[in-house]
Every structure is written in structure tokens, then in C-alpha cells.
Structure 1
Amino acid sequence: MSFGDPNNPYGQQQPPQPPQGQPGYGYPQQAPQGIPPQGQPGYGYPQQPGQPPYGAMPPAPGTLQANNGYINVAGLGTVEVATMGRRFGARLIDGLVIGVLYSILSAIGVASAFGASKSIKDCTGMDYASSAYQSCVNEQAQAAGGVIATFFGVILVFFVATLLYEWLMIAFVGATVGKLALGLKVVKENTGQVPGVGGGFIRWIIPMVGAFLCGIGQLLVYLSPFFDNSGKLQGWHDRAAGTIVVKK
């Protein structure tokens, strides 16, 4: 008959102890202090910014984050929607760039027109029935046609330059000089990529069509983000091109 441990006055047997360094059967293994178990967030470990809560599904592309000005864009994650103030500032900078270009082209056009006008001969005092008078009148008509051609040529070059500036920079860079200066970018809402040739052209042509209505239509297009009740500040040209303006 065993009386147990002599140091144990009550004669109760002690439970067997597992070997040190190895978890015994029925004894849960303890995680090292300060390191949370895998798969579970430990207390005091902050969640990474921009990550959905633990166990929550990530928001779908195009989903606004609690109407706080942030939106989830495929390929970019959570980004901030560009405010109208920044977009207006970018448009002002672009206006200055285009204004400088227009001034240069206008100066070239005026110089060309002035040179053409100097070649117009004075036919006064000539005999109207003479061949010299008829020749002088023909030269006047040609010179005047040169002045008119120069005027419309400047307009055409300015139109093409504006087209290439706004269209191609948005298409391949996603931003004009003004948008680059203020940290804005135009991206496709469903991919997060730059708009490309097609998207950039659609986004450019819609305000230009509105410009034919004495500029009122163009102004309405640029103000149309204020009418967007989705919170994404998409203008009519953005909706048509499937784009959105965000902060980089």
C-alpha cells in the first residue's frame, strides 16, 4: 500500500508533468509572449490603413468609402477623389499653358498676315480698262486671300495643338500639366489604368461639342461634377469615357 509522497501530508498523488520543451497530451501549447497566434489579430496590433476589418469582404471597385471622399479603384486600392477646387486650379494652369501657346501662334499669324498685306498693291489712279489695272486687282485678291488663309491657319493649328495637348496627355499620361502640378490623375474607373486613346478622345470631344453653343455647353460639362449625386464627382465627359479623377 502506497502512502504517496512523504512531503504531501494528504497523501494525494501529483498529476504527471510533461517533459520540458514539449507540450504534453491534453496540455495546450502556449504561444510565445508578445506574438499573437496565427490567423488571429493580437491585442495591441494595429490594423493596416486601407485594409478592410478582419473578417470583412473587401469593397467592390467603384465603392465609396463611407462617403468620406475615398473610393476603391481596381488596381489602385483606396484612393481619394479629386475635389472640385483642385480640378478648377488644374484647369486654370492648363488655361495659362494654352494661352501662352495661343499667344505664340497669334504672333506668328499676325506677322504673316502683315507681310501678306504689304504685298497688296495700290491700284488707284490706274485706267480701269487697262490690263495693268486688271493685273493689279488680281494681285490684291491673291494677297487678301493669303491674309484670310493665314488667319484660319492659325485657328486650325491652335485647334490641333489644343486637341493633342488635352487628348494625348490624358490618354497616355492620365494628366495635363495642370493636373500634374496639383497631383491629380484621370484613370479608368474599372481598371485604374490611364484612359487610353479612345477614352481620352471621348473625354475631350464632349466639352468641345458643347463649346459650339457659345461656350455654354462646355461650361456646363465642366460644372457637371457638381450634379453627380454618386459622390464620385464624375462629370458628363467622365461618365461617357468611364473615367474618374483622383489624387495620386
Structure 2
Amino acid sequence: MNPATLGRRAGALLIDSAIALLLMMGALAIFAGISFATGGAFPLPIAVIAAYLVLLAWFAFYSFLQAGAGSFGMRALGLRLARVDGTESPLGFGRALARNVVWGLGGAIVVGYFSPLFDSSPWRRGWHDKATGAVVTDIAGRGAPLPVAPQAGAAQPVPMRAGVTDAPGAPAYPVAPPPAPPAYPVASPTAPPAGPPVAPPVAPPPYVPTPSAMTYAGDTELVGRDAVAAPTPAPAPVLAPAVPVAPLRGASTAAGVISFVPGVTDPAARPAAAPAATPSTPAPAAPAAPPLSPAGSAFPPLDAPPSADVDETRLSGPARQPLARIVWDDGTRHGVYGRSVFGRNPSAEPDATRVPVRDETLSLSKTHFELVVDEQRALWVIDRESTNGVVIRRGTQRQTAVPGERTRVRMGDVLEIGDRSATVEVAS
């Protein structure tokens, strides 16, 4: 059904009011003429009462016309009364008469004449329309057809959406379970030197990564927005590597006893070493013997160069982009990554994201509406049986979302919720 504009409704009312005024003036002139012609035999007060009886008869006939195809003014402008249930059936004489009575009582306090302006929906239902469950439709086909908003307080069944079941489904974004922390071996506190004694290395000691920066066997690095970081165990104490020192001449190393410790024993106690003969060609220095590591240890040698994957730049996963954004009138922005439920304190649902909205005007219900993105990345809004409902404003047109049914929204649409409003920004 197409909602009638206020201008055409006012025009139909003016036509019907002009007919009623002419009929009243004509009846009053006829009965007053009879009173004057009879010299008062037909009293003038009785003539006035008779004129009002004619007006009352017109009122009943006027309601009878509205109950069917419409009054003379409504027929002239292509309007008709219908029931609010959307069946386009005639309103009926009883409801039409009650509607005109409520209209007259509201007009007695003047405010009732302007009650259609209090309704922000495209139907502009006044007090007399809401009291009798009526809407004024445009049968001439002007304007876009819109569903009729249900009466306030009426419980409407929520239809099942396609592809959605009552059983709780899997979450929209699965999260990988955190891996079990690996068992870290502890390095041996002492490591006896191995191999023949060599001279101290001239090159600076190699870089030794700390345990927190090393990558051990069995670890799994999770990179991305939705990854869950593995718990970091306390690092095991790591001893500084012992720097091999050239032994004294004549000292025995078979027992593995160190005869000189730098910084502890007196270097004067060492006998003077005989100068070694200078070779004719310089020989390359032998590398220092690495300390022994326990068998089966996951640690790399401490004096080995860092592995390639330690200093290598790792590629992280691309940041997830929202499918749409909701910008509220106070500047608050909410990203929509999937099915999202909005409200002051929305209830938790297994396959939806809760989006609490701070609302000091109390225009939003606790669970007010939800936004759904289908397979074609189209955005839909669903009114969750809220108190103030959801009105979609697109340019100069307004459409009220039917509770429980999906209504298409596009980029630039404005969702009006009582005293609050939000603009839809589609990211795609």
C-alpha cells in the first residue's frame, strides 16, 4: 500500500468540509424561511435544531462513504481508508464512525487537528487513526509502496529468516586454541672444554639472543587479529659462555682442572711462556671450541650465529576491514564485521556480536536492532521488536522497518530511532 501525503489528505478534508458547510447553510436558510413565512408558527429555534439534525444525518452518511470507497473529497484525490493490518480491506462503518468521533473530540482541544504531525512514519497516523486501526492510502499509485507499521503494543510473530536455525551454530570467527607450552631444557651450569687448547679468539664474542627472543622447536607463532598468543613461560637462567684461555706450558690438562681463572688468581704466579716461533706464512686461527650442550637440547649453541629466522622480518596477516560502519549522531563509530546486535545492553547470542550503544536519551531499547550482511555483501537491518522502532530515511523518503523482517539499507541511509540517528557507511 502507498501512504497518502498530508497535502492530499488536507485537500480531501477541505472538499468534504465545504460540502458540509453548504449543506448546513442551505438547511438553515430553508427552515428559517419557513419560520418567517409562517409568522413564527414554526419557531426559529426549532428551525436551527432541524438544520443541525440535517448536519448530523450528513455526518452519518459521510462515515458511511468513508467506510467504503471513500468520501467525495477522498474519491476526488484518489484516497481511501484501509485497515492497519495491510489487507487493503475496507475500514467498515463502525470504525469509520468512531474515527470521525475521535477526530471531532480531538479538534475540540485544537491539538487533535495536528496529531498526524506527531507520527514520524510515512503514514502520518493521527490519534483518530491509531484509535481505530486505520491508515489513509493513496490508491492512485503515487509514491513507493511501504509496509504498514503494526500498532503499538501488538505482539507480532517474528518470521524465520532463510538460512538461520534455532540451534546455536559455530562462531562467525573461529579462534585457534592456544598450544601447550613447550618444555624448555635447562642448560648445564658447567661445560668442560673439549678439544685441544687454543689461543683466545681475537674476534668479538658473537651475538647471543635471549631466551625470550629465540624460536624453539615446537613453538607456533600466531600472527593476525584473531590469533591467541601462547602463554610465555618464565625464561630459564642462561650462563655466560666461558672464554677458552691458553693453558700454561707444562700444565697438565688430563684431569680437566683449570689452573688459572682470570680476575681470581694472581697472574704473577704463572711462569713465563717461551715465545713461539713465528711461522713463515700466517696460519689461520683455529675457531674456539664451542661449549657442550646436553643431548637432545632444543637450544642452539650459545656461540653459534643467530638463526636466520630470528632477525628475519615476519609477515603478519592483513588487518580485517569492516563490511560497514555505523556513525551515530554524537560521532561514535561502530564497525560491522558480520551479524551485529545493537542496543543499550543487547543480549548475548552465539552467532552475533554484541554492540552496546551509550544512549542518555533512552531512545534505544536494550536489544533494539541488528545488522546482517548476506553473501553478496548487502546490508540489511532487522527491528528486534523495539519500543521506538527503526525508520530508514533515504533522501526525502522514509520507511519504517517491520519488526522481525529484513529491510535493505544502503550507503548514506540514516536510521532514525526516537531522538537518536545513525548514518550507514558501507565499506565495500
Q: How far apart are residue 210 of structure 1 and its match?
A: 3.4
CA distance in 2, matches of 1:157, 1:99: 11
Question: Could you give the per-residue CA deviations for residues 131-164 of structure 1, whole angstroms, max 9, x where no partner exists?
Answer: xxxxxxxxxxxx4x73221221111221222232
Aligned residue in 2 for 1:223: 114
Given candidates 206, 213, 230, the residue that maps to 2:102 is 206
Tell me if the contact between 2:28 and 2:47 (Cα under 8 Å) persists in the aligned partners.
no
SS where residue 207 of structure 1 aligns?
helix
CA distance in 1, matches of 2:37, 2:102: 38
Instruction: Look up the equivalent residue of 2:9 and give its one-letter code.
Output: R
CA distance in 2, matches of 1:186, 1:196: 9
Matches within 5 A, 1:44-193: 79-116=1-38, 118-119=39-40, 143=41, 146-165=43-62, 167-173=63-69, 175-190=70-85, 191-193=87-89
Q: How far apart are residue 235 of structure 1 and its match?
A: 0.8
Q: How far apart are residue 199 of structure 1 and its match?
A: 1.1
CA distance in 2, matches of 1:233, 1:147: 43
The 1:228/1:80 distance shift into structure 2, 3 A limit, reads same
Matches within 5 A, 1:11-26: none
Q: How far apart are residue 225 of structure 1 and its match?
A: 0.9
Tell me if the contact between 1:225 and 1:236 (Cα under 8 Å) persists in the aligned partners.
yes
Considering only aligned residues, what root-mean-square deviation do their CA atoms show, in Å?
A: 1.8
Question: Could you give the per-residue CA deviations for residues 59-101 of structure 1, whole angstroms, max 9, x where no partner exists?
Answer: xxxxxxxxxxxxxxxxxxxx22111011111111112211221
Between structures 1 and 2, the one with greater helix share? 1
Q: Is 2:137 the counterpart of 1:246?
A: yes
SS where residue 80 of structure 1 aligns?
coil
CA distance in 2, matches of 1:182, 1:102: 24
CA distance in 2, matches of 1:80, 1:111: 48
SS where residue 244 of structure 1 aligns?
strand
CA distance in 2, matches of 1:171, 1:237: 14
Q: How far apart are residue 229 of structure 1 and its match?
A: 2.6
Tell me if the contact between 1:207 and 1:237 (Cα under 8 Å) persists in the aligned partners.
yes
Question: Could you give the per-residue CA deviations for residues 166-214 of structure 1, whole angstroms, max 9, x where no partner exists?
Answer: x1011122x1111111111110111321110221111111122235x3x
Tell me if the contact between 1:113 and 1:151 (Cα under 8 Å) persists in the aligned partners.
no
Aligned residue in 2 for 1:233: 124
Q: Which runs of 5+ in 1 are unaligned?
A: 1-78, 120-142
Aligned residue in 2 for 1:26: none
CA distance in 2, matches of 1:110, 1:146: 9
Q: How far apart are residue 102 of structure 1 and its match?
A: 1.6
CA distance in 2, matches of 1:179, 1:89: 8
Q: TM-score, normalized by length of structure 1?
A: 0.52
Q: Which runs of 5+ in 2 are unaligned?
A: 140-428
Tell me if the contact between 2:102 and 2:128 (Cα under 8 Å) persists in the aligned partners.
yes
Q: Could you tell which deviates more after superposition, 185-194 or 201-210?
A: 201-210
Aligned residue in 2 for 1:72: none
Instruction: Look up the equivalent residue of 2:7 and give its one-letter code.
Output: G
SS where residue 43 of structure 2 aligns?
helix
Q: How far apart are residue 115 of structure 1 and its match?
A: 2.1
- Write out the 4+ residue segments of structure 1 that deviate beyond 3 Å after TM superposition: none
CA distance in 2, matches of 1:102, 1:150: 12
Tell me if the contact between 1:203 and 1:238 (Cα under 8 Å) persists in the aligned partners.
yes
Aligned residue in 1 for 2:239: none
Tell me if the contact between 1:90 and 1:178 (Cα under 8 Å) persists in the aligned partners.
yes
